[in-house]
């Protein structure tokens, strides 16, 4: 009996934990005039946040409460230390986020995990009429409110305390949503991203700026050396909270960056997903549409 392969279809579905390539091969038998479908599945494990990283190992508080406590403790020193540990490159990354959003001409923007308001303030350059900065840490927001007031942006930027996994807004409230260095602090990543999807308008844009782990030599080795040894040391020497910068380093190392994060966004329902690695791969900007 002779068989002839007539058609091969490839389908690439999105999956949070595993990237699957499914090949559907149609085999035609001339003798029986029947077609047989053979399905081959190839799976490649992707990095994922397999464990939840908490700031305080010996605390019985949940991650959300620990993150709030940590950022309240370091709020006064956060901006200065951030410039030091990132060598000021984080400023350039935020400006790129603004340039990307400016092309979309959003009228309303929600900046989640706004912290001390650095990105919210930069987002004024998009021309948006209203910007809401939301954060779970009252301490960080107080610093941010002072910066907003100093720049006389009170009429454009509103800073509010809120939970990213339970956003206090109606469905389809914002033209664009941004998160800079915040999604890895979500207690439940899928829940936080689902909330973002809910309050984003159809056709609206999500831009996420987050740390990543370089994959190429020698950047990968240099990154691990810096984040595992130098960064925690800087935190211990200059921070009021000895655990904070160790947590920020560890949480970045286990976060599902790159294709893995793209897949999670797709599972939530986002489309037109782009991932733009920054500065040798130590950070990435993700752009997605509802």
Higher pLDDT, 111 or 10: 111
pTM of the model: 0.81
Instruction: Check residue 127 and give its pLDDT.
Output: 97
Higher pLDDT, 64 or 234: 64
Task: Name the band, by pLDDT with cuts 50, 70 and 90, for residue 254.
Answer: confident
Instruction: Check residue 86 and give its pLDDT.
Output: 85
Q: Is the pLDDT of residue 1 over 50?
A: no
Q: Is the pLDDT of residue 120 over 50?
A: yes
Instruction: Check residue 55 and give its pLDDT.
Output: 79
CB 112 within 8 A of CB 140: no
* Domain layout of the chain by residue ranges: 3-45, 63-289
Instruction: Check residue 183 and give its pLDDT.
Output: 96
Which residues share a beta bridge with 117? none
Which residues share a beta bridge with 37? 26
CATH fold of the domain at 63-289:
Rossmann fold (3.40.50)
CB 208 within 8 A of CB 181: no
Lowest mean pLDDT among 21-35, 132-146, 267-281: 21-35
* Residue of 144, 92, 94, 89 lying closest to 114 (CA atoms): 144
Collect all residues with Cβ–Cβ distance below 8 Å to 33 and sequence separation of at least 6: none
Half-sphere exposure of 47 (CA within 13 A, CB side): 13
Instruction: Check residue 20 and give its pLDDT.
Output: 38
Chain centre to alpha carbon of residue 281: 14
Measured between alpha carbons, how far is 158 from 88 in angstroms, rounded to an integer? 26
Collect all residues with Cβ–Cβ distance below 8 Å to 117 and sequence separation of at least 6: 133, 141, 143, 144, 145, 147, 148, 157, 159
Collect all residues with Cβ–Cβ distance below 8 Å to 46 and sequence separation of at least 6: 17, 18, 19, 256, 259, 260, 263
**Could you read off the pLDDT of 63-95 as tens digits, one per residue?**
999 999 999 999 998 888 888 888 889 999 999
In degrees to the nearest 10, what's the CA dihedral of 85, 90, 92, 97? 170
Task: Name the band, by pLDDT with cuts 50, 70 and 90, for residue 51.
Answer: low
Collect all residues with Cβ–Cβ distance below 8 Å to 290 and sequence separation of at least 6: 197, 200, 201, 202, 203, 204, 206, 269, 270, 271
The mean per-residue pLDDT over the stretch 275-289 comes to 96
CB 265 within 8 A of CB 287: no
Q: Is the pLDDT of residue 223 over 90?
A: no
**Token digits of residue 271:** 């489309």
User: Helices in the chain by DSSP H: which ranges?
Assistant: 63-74, 78-85, 89-102, 118-122, 138-150, 189-199, 219-225, 231-238, 244-254, 259-268
Which strand (E) or helix (H) includes residue 38? strand 34-45
């Amino acid at each position: 009996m002779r068989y002839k392969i007539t058609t091969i279809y490839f389908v690439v579905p999105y999956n949070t934990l595993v990237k699957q390539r499914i090949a559907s091969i149609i085999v035609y038998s001339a003798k029986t005039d029947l077609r047989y479908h053979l399905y081959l599945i190839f799976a490649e494990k992707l990095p994922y946040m397999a464990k939840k990283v908490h700031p305080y190992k010996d605390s019985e508080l949940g991650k959300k409460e620990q993150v709030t406590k940590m950022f309240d403790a370091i709020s006064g020193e956060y901006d200065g230390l951030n410039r030091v540990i990132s060598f000021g490159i984080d400023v350039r990354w935020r400006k790129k986020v603004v340039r990307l959003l400016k092309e979309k001409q959003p009228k309303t923007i929600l900046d989640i995990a706004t912290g001390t308001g650095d990105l919210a303030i930069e987002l004024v350059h998009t021309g948006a009429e209203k910007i809401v900065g939301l954060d779970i840490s009252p301490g960080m927001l107080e610093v941010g409110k002072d910066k907003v007031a100093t720049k006389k942006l009170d009429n454009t930027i509103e800073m509010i305390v809120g939970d990213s996994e339970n956003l206090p807004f109606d469905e389809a409230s914002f033209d664009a949503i941004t998160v800079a260095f915040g999604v890895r602090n979500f207690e439940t990543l899928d829940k936080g991203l689902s909330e973002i999807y809910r309050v984003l308008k159809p056709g609206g844009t999500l831009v996420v700026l987050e740390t990543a782990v370089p994959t190429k030599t020698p950047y990968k080795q240099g990154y691990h050396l810096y984040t595992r040894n130098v960064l925690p040391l800087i935190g211990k020497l200059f921070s009021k909270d000895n655990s904070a910068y160790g947590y920020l380093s560890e949480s970045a190392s286990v976060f599902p960056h790159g294709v893995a994060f793209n897949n999670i966004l797709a599972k939530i329902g986002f489309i037109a997903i782009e991932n733009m690695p920054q500065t040798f791969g130590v950070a990435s900007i993700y752009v997605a549409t509802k």
